[in-house]
Amino acid sequence: MISHGTLKVQATSHRYRALFLSDLHLGTKGCQSEALLDFLHQVDADTIYLVGDIVDGWRLRSHWYWPQQHNDVVQKLLRKVRKGVRLVYIPGNHDEFLRDYLNIQLGKIEIVDSAIHQTADGRLFLVVHGDTFDVVVRHAQWLALLGDWAYETALIVSAHLNRVRRRLGLTYWSLSQWAKLKVKSAVNFIGDYEQALVTEANRKGVDGIICGHIHHATIQEIAGFTYVNCGDWVESCTAIAETYDGEIRLIHWHTQREAACVHSVQQAGSAPFASSGPLMPSRSSPIGYQQDGGVLPRRQSRMPFSQLLDLL
């Protein structure tokens, strides 16, 4: 069974059997760490998979950026581990430095190149970041770096546009997401990428695949396999969750928070927003694939790059 998460306002946080997060890009100005921290405070799971590009080593090598909120995200994940959550880290191309530590445990964190996740209803999913199925990353990294620069530029433009939109009372709009869906070559790339991942699922003899990398969150059936992409926490603020009955859900966190705010205001008779509890995903009706934004991180802390491994 496949559906998309919604939410209601209630007093306790929601817990899932498994949670999949990818492409946080900690260490960049584009990381929506405030929304991510809010999500991590409200949502928990027995197992959390970090599906690559969690820390952006590419950016940190060229320009150090590590605000306090990014440190808070890492510490929040570590606190979950100390409370008994199983944390599986699958490095991507932006945090490929961690591939030197594959198949070992840093503290209680498992670092692996890929994983097989079995759902509560018995289905098997291959979990990979997905960069090894991207021909540009594999064969022309200089072009990937150029594309990364262009993407970062688009995010900066989007941030300025959305400051104006917020003042006008308009919803978030993503330039880079729009370009992905409108530019023919980008659409073709996404389709080719999805097909390559489904082919790998078939080769591995599993029921589906869970990945990240292309910042395009979705759950869909392709050629009899379930293709799942976690999305990102730069543009869409999305995550994949498995409920205790094996249902796979796509959570759009900003959309859910906005819906909860509207619900709370209506309940209070248009009074200022005052939630009776935290915002959280529920097991009820679905929502659409809307893209929503957040706030750029606050102050910056100076932490040596080598200490990232100590944090992990």
Q: What is the mean pLDDT of the chain?
A: 76
Q: Is residue 255 part of a domain?
A: yes
Q: Provide the edge-to-edge strand list for the sheet that holds 225-229.
A: 115-118, 124-127, 208-211, 225-229, 218-222
Report the pLDDT averaged over residues 161-186: 56
- Please list the residues that pair with 150 across neighbouring strands: none
Q: Is residue 310 part of a domain?
A: no
Q: Is residue 277 part of a domain?
A: no
**57: phi then psi, degrees, rounded to nearest 5:** -65, -30
Q: Give the CATH number, domain containing residue 300.
A: 3.60.21.10
Query: Cα separation of 10 and 202, whole Å?
Result: 41
Q: Is residue 289 part of a domain?
A: yes
Convert the pLDDT of each residue in 195-229 to its tens digit.
Answer: 999 999 999 999 999 999 999 999 999 999 999 99
Report the pLDDT averaged over residues 48-59: 94
Q: Is residue 280 part of a domain?
A: no
If one compares 154 and 299, the residue with the highest pLDDT of the two is 154
Report the pLDDT averaged over residues 83-102: 94
Q: Is residue 279 part of a domain?
A: no
Query: Cα separation of 219 and 230, whole Å?
Result: 9
Convert the pLDDT of each residue in 105-132 to its tens digit.
Answer: 888 899 999 999 999 999 999 999 999 9
Q: Say what the pTM is.
A: 0.71
Q: Is residue 243 part of a domain?
A: yes
Domain that holds residue 247: 16-272+285-305
Task: Give the list of residues 6+ apart from residue 65 with CB closer than 8 angstroms, or none.
Answer: 27, 28, 29, 59, 300
Question: Given pLDDT bands bounded at 50, 70 and 90, which one contains residue 153?
Answer: low
> Which of 285, 111, 130, 116 is CA-nearest to residue 195?
130
CA 172 to chain centre: 18
Report the pLDDT averaged over residues 260-265: 48
Domain count, the chain: 1
Q: Is residue 10 part of a domain?
A: no
Question: Given pLDDT bands bounded at 50, 70 and 90, which one contains residue 138?
Answer: very low
Amino acid 308 reads L
At residue 136, the pLDDT reads 45
Q: Is the pLDDT of residue 139 over 50?
A: no
